[in-house]
Amino acid sequence: MLSAYFDASGGTDQYATVVSGYVSTVDRWERFDADWRLLLAKEKVPYFHMNEFAGSRKVYKDWKGNEVRRARFLSQLAEIISAHALRSFSAILFNRQFYELNERYELRERVGNPYTFCARTCAAKAREWMQRDGYNNRPIEYVFEAGDRGKGLLRTIFKRDLLPEPIFRPKLPQPGYDQRGILTPLQAADFVAWEHQKSVRQIVEKRLTRLRKSLEALRNIEKDWGRYTPKKLLQFCETTGIRKRS
């Protein structure tokens, strides 16, 4: 049994929508969970959330300015991911380009919104990898962070495309929710999705001179990370038979 965990970063108020995550076997994810929780306990934090960590907020407020500890922590998280995940997938889509092409093609009618498009892309990449690398005879479940918008639409798209029904779970503690039920692989997905969103912003704002060390550390794992350029988006419309608007 394989499990794929994905999280999203971005929205209509940002340059891009990103969906990223990892796939591995259930057994490997169990070992991942034990190692991840052990590191969190060692650092005396209940969870990992990249947005809070980056801003030294909430459970990370006492980490502000301690760059040695912060860098070591991210490096250790990346090592745990690399040790247990089989492959990483990520889809990056510039929101403006999506909506501009939608004015010419019936893109939204076919793929939904940028989030569902990227989520469906990651699932398709995972399925292609399974077929190519000998995992095609294994069942797979797709788990997405419960807080991302578009869950109902994603269920419809997955059903249409004969993909397993997506599962939605929280990555952080919720009121009245059993802490043991928090899926730590979604926190790993949050890590890589946030890093890709950060890199996109720096590229657009011409502030990226080299990859951030934390993203570079995540590159050690086998991966399929891709960005939809305007040309690729147009090719997608043409090859999948998406109709032009009249």
pLDDT digits (tens, 9 = 90+) for 71-92: 999 999 999 999 999 999 999 9
Say which residue the tokens 């005396």 belong to: 44
User: What tokens appear for 25 in the block?
Assistant: 């076997």
Collect all residues with Cβ–Cβ distance below 8 Å to 172 and sequence separation of at least 6.
Answer: 47, 49, 182, 187
Rounded Cα gap, residues 93 and 233, in angstroms? 9
pLDDT digits (tens, 9 = 90+) for 19-40: 999 999 999 999 999 999 999 9
Over residues 149-154, the mean pLDDT reads 92
Predicted pLDDT of residue 75: 93
Over residues 143-171, the mean pLDDT reads 94
CATH assignment, 2-239: 3.30.420.10
Please determine, for residue 220, whether its predicted confidence score (pLDDT) is greater than 90: no
- Nearest Cα neighbor of 183 from 25, 29, 23 is 29
The proportion of the chain whose per-residue pLDDT surpasses 90, expressed as a percent, equals 79
Please determine, for residue 171, whether its predicted confidence score (pLDDT) is greater than 80: yes
Predicted pLDDT of residue 14: 81
Predicted pLDDT of residue 11: 72
Rounded Cα gap, residues 64 and 70, in angstroms? 9
- Nearest Cα neighbor of 8 from 159, 154, 213, 205 is 154
Helix or strand or coil: residue 144? strand
Over residues 6-30, the mean pLDDT reads 92
User: What tokens appear for 36 in the block?
Assistant: 């991840």
Q: How many residues does the chain have?
A: 246
User: H or E stretch including 169?
Assistant: strand 167-169
Mean pLDDT of the chain: 92
For every residue of 108-134, which 3-state class applies, written as one string? HHHHCCHHHHHHHHHHHHHHHHHHHCC
**Residue 217's pLDDT band (boundaries 50, 70, 90)?**
confident
Over residues 103-122, the mean pLDDT reads 96
Please determine, for residue 181, whether its predicted confidence score (pLDDT) is greater than 80: no
Predicted pLDDT of residue 211: 60
Predicted pLDDT of residue 180: 64
β-pairing verdict for 167-169 and 140-145: parallel
Lowest mean pLDDT among 8-17, 20-29, 129-138, 221-230: 8-17
Predicted pLDDT of residue 179: 63
**Residue 214's pLDDT band (boundaries 50, 70, 90)?**
confident
pLDDT digits (tens, 9 = 90+) for 195-213: 999 888 887 777 765 566 7
Q: How is the chain split into domains, by residue range? A: 2-239
Buried-state track 178-204, b at ≥16 Cβ within 10 A, e below 16: eeeebbbbbbbbbbbbbbbbbbbeeee
Cβ neighbours of 237 (radius 10 Å): 20
Determine if the pTM surpasses 0.85: yes
Rounded Cα gap, residues 102 and 107, in angstroms? 5
DSSP string of 48-96, one letter each residue: --HHHHHTT-GGGGGGTT-HHHHHHHHHHHHHHHHHH-SEEEEEEEEHH
Sign of CA dihedral 145, 63, 203, 23: negative
Predicted pLDDT of residue 212: 67
The proportion of the chain whose per-residue pLDDT surpasses 70, expressed as a percent, equals 94
